[in-house]
Structure 1
Amino acid sequence: MDPVAAAHIGLPGLGERDSLRAQVTAALRSALLSGKLQPGVVYSAPALAEEFGVSPTPVREAMIDLVRDGLFEAVRNRGFRVVALSARDLAELTEIREMVEVPAVTRLAGALPPDAVDRLRALAGEAADRAGDGDVGGYLDADRRFHTELLERTGNRTLVRTVLDLRSRSRMYGLATVSPGTELVAAAAEHGELLDALVAGDAARAEEIMLRHLGHVRGAWT
């Protein structure tokens, strides 16, 4: 039988968002990315609600949203279990990201306005700082915001949602227990390299960096 999670997991705090349900959903996604929620473990909505300091209802609603996203599966009369991701699943999701995300980003070469460049540089710096500190969760959050900001410059909202969904589905487990090393720092540095290539209008260089950056997903990082 699947193990049931301990009462305290160390979930991220709830920030300022549109609704409590959205706050819990975002926090659970972050916990998935950082490896705090593990595959094969059953999580009870009431137990998670107690840790968040909220009622079980928004937690249960958030978990149902994540079931629809393919990240959890309902376990009758017990709670919710994180869906395990096989090596083949990860490879296929990464391939789709390469087919969709790389061309979208390279088309931005030479087309980023100064204000967008400033925001992206700040996010790239934040990702580098978090990687240097060994803060995997902080790095993943900054990385997500960097790529979201970049993709939003395409003006294609469906593209942004699609890539973010693929990113969520290709999350890795156990990152919170890994000792980050040179690979995480190198992945963080690629944000700045990518931005430099885009500002210079070098689409070929941007494509090379994006493929290398997504290649980390096939290894230990997302």
Structure 2
Amino acid sequence: MFSGVVAGKAKISKINKKDETITMAISYPTGLLSDIRIGDSISVNGTCLTAERVEPNQFQVTMMPQTFEKTTFKDLKAGDEVNVEQAMKIGSRFEGHIVTGHVDEVIPVTARHINENAIELWFSIPSWLDKQIVPQGSVTLNGVSLTVMDVKNISFSVGLIPHTQDKTNLSSLKIGDEVNLETDILGKYVQKNLSKEN
């Protein structure tokens, strides 16, 4: 389980795609990920992956076909930046929101605006997730916990403050670029239980 408060940006140093299985090595700056060990869960662009091999400033993961189909990793290449976060520790301060690392859908950027020191990004909402995204609710985009600013028709917006712009790969997004979306797990349970009553 994660919080969506990413540690920072890392880079894909190697990526091997064989059919729908991906093996990937990720390099990170010294001090970015503390005490990482084999078997640890690491959020990489919002996807919960297991560190299978750990070397100084680098770890390796393998993704199965379902992850290939449900995420942007099938389109990434060596040198691309990814957001990383280690799993939450019991007893530590809980910021962001509850993030499982299970991506729901890949969605595109539909608009980008600069509002003084903030970047406003708009994304399309898949029809099957439209009831799970609400104004002032939480979403996870590429592993980053964000507050939904506005919802209009089949789109929603988020704002990137300067800290988020510096710490994550979201500020470089252009119209048409895709991100990994995870909606709020609490919203999922609410929708599921309400649908049973109808």
Tell me which interval the TM-score lies in, with the shorter structure as reference length.
Answer: under 0.3
Provide TM-score, normalisation by structure 1: 0.26
Task: Name the one with the larger strand percent.
Answer: 2
